[in-house]
Amino acid sequence: MHAMHTGKFSRADFTGGTLRGLTGFACVIIIAIVAVIVGNIVYHGIGNLSWEFLSEPPRKHFTEGGIFPAIFGTAALVILMTIAVIPLGVATAIYMHEYASKRSRVVHLVRLAIQNLAGVPAIVFGLFGVGFFIEFVGRGLDRGLYGGALVYGQPAILWAALTMALLTLPTVVVATEEALRAIPQGYREVAYSLGATKWQMIRKVVLPQAAGGILTGGILAVSRGSGEVAPVMFTGAAYALPDLPSRLNDQFMELGYHVYVMSTQAFDVEATKPALYSTVLVLLLLTFSLNFTAIMIRARIRRRLRNGR
C-alpha cells in the first residue's frame, strides 16, 4: 500500500504542488514589495535625518535646511481638520445609531452617501474644495463682509482643512458607529430605567463608552489626512512660504505636497533627492505610527466587544 503510493508521482500531486507554489509566490511578492519600498526609503532617508532637518525651513531650492514648515503646516492642517470632522462625524453616527429608527430611510440614504463619499477619488475632493469652499463660500464671505476684497476667496489652510474633513468623514462615521454597536444594549436600558432621558443616556453612558472608538476614528482620519496631497494642492498648500501660517486664511506647506514639489517641481530635482528621501521617511513614520496607535485601540475595543456581551 505504502509502496504503491510513493512509487508513482501522480498528476494530482503535481497540480497541488504547483498551486501551492504559485499562491505562496504571490505572498512572497507582496512582502518583497513592502520590504523594497520601506527598505529603500529608510536606507536613503535615514542619513540625512537630523534635528536640524526636522526643525529648520528649507534653503537653496530645498537642497539644504529642513522641512519644519511642512511639518508645522501638516500638523495645523490635521488639527483644523479634526476640529471639523470629529463633531460632524460623531453627530452623524450618533443620529444613525441612537436616534433614527431601525428601518429609517434617512439612515439608509446617509449610509449610502457615506459609502459613496469613501469611494470618491481624492482629486475630486480637491476640485470640490475649490469650487465650493473657495469660490462659493470664500467669495461669498468676501462679497458680504469685506466689500469684495480678497480675504477668504483664495486657497487657505481653512479650506484645505475642511476639504480634508470631507475626505476623512467616512472614516470617523464608520469607526464611531462600530464603537456604538459595541456598547451593550443593557447599559442603555439601565440608564433609562434609572430615569435618564435620551440625551442624558447618550452623554453619561454612550459617549464615555464610545470614546475609544471615536479616538480610533480620529487617529485614522489624521493618518489618512496627513498623507493626502490631492485635496490640498488646489485648496491651500503652497510651494514654499517664508512664514508659517498664523491665520485661517493663510496658505501653508504640507508634507505630502512638499514631496510632490521636491520630486517634480524643484529647480534641480536630482540635488533634492537626499532631502526628498528623508521627507518621505518622516511622512511614513508619521502615518505608520498613527495607524499603529489606531490599530491598538481598535483591537482593545474589539476584545471588549467579544467579552462584553
Partner 1 sequence: MAAKLEVAANHQSYTRSIPGIRTEGLRVSYAGQAVLKGITLEAHQGEILSIIGPAGAGKTTYLRCLNRMLDMDPDWKISGSVLLHDQPVYAREIPVATLRRKVGMVFSVPITLPMSIYENLTFGMTMTRNGRNDRAAKIERALRQAYLWDEVKDRMQEPAGNLSGGQQQRLCLARALTLEPAVLLLDEPCSGLDPISTRRIEEALQQLKDSLTIVLVTNNVKQAARASDRTAFFLFGELIEVQDTEILFTTPGKKETADYISGRFG
Q: What does the binding site for partner 1 look like in residue numbers (CB under 8 A)?
A: 101-102, 184, 186-197, 200, 204-205, 209
Say how far apart CA 240 and CA 234 lie, in whole Å: 14
Beta carbons within 10 angstroms of residue 269's beta carbon = 14
Beta carbon nearer to partner 1, 193 or 264: 193
Rounded to a whole number of angstroms, the minimum distance from the CB of residue 134 to partner 1 is 44
Q: What is the residue type of 299?
A: A
Rounded to a whole number of angstroms, the minimum distance from the CB of residue 91 to partner 1 is 20
Output the nine-digit C-alpha cell for 20. Answer: 501551492
Residue 179's nearest CA partner among 155, 212, 149 is 212
Beta carbon nearer to partner 1, 72 or 192: 192
How are beta strands 58-59 and 64-65 bridged, if at all?
antiparallel
Rounded to a whole number of angstroms, the minimum distance from the CB of residue 216 to partner 1 is 18
Beta carbons within 10 angstroms of residue 280's beta carbon = 22
Rounded to a whole number of angstroms, the minimum distance from the CB of residue 129 to partner 1 is 40
Beta carbon nearer to partner 1, 60 or 303: 303
Q: Taking each helix axis from N to C terminus, what angle separates 273-308 and 68-94, rounded to the nearest 10 degrees? A: 20
Say how far apart CA 281 and CA 40 lie, in whole Å: 10
Residue 224's nearest CA partner among 294, 176, 124, 129 is 294
Rounded to a whole number of angstroms, the minimum distance from the CB of residue 218 to partner 1 is 21
Beta carbon nearer to partner 1, 183 or 221: 183
Beta carbon nearer to partner 1, 201 or 283: 201
In the block, which residue shows the cell 476640485? 127
What are the Cα distances from residue 14, in Å, to 11, 20, 28? 5, 10, 21
Beta carbon nearer to partner 1, 120 or 190: 190
Beta carbons within 10 angstroms of residue 285's beta carbon = 14
Rounded to a whole number of angstroms, the minimum distance from the CB of residue 205 to partner 1 is 7
* Beta bridge partner(s), residue 65: 58
Rounded to a whole number of angstroms, the minimum distance from the CB of residue 96 to partner 1 is 16
Beta carbon nearer to partner 1, 151 or 205: 205
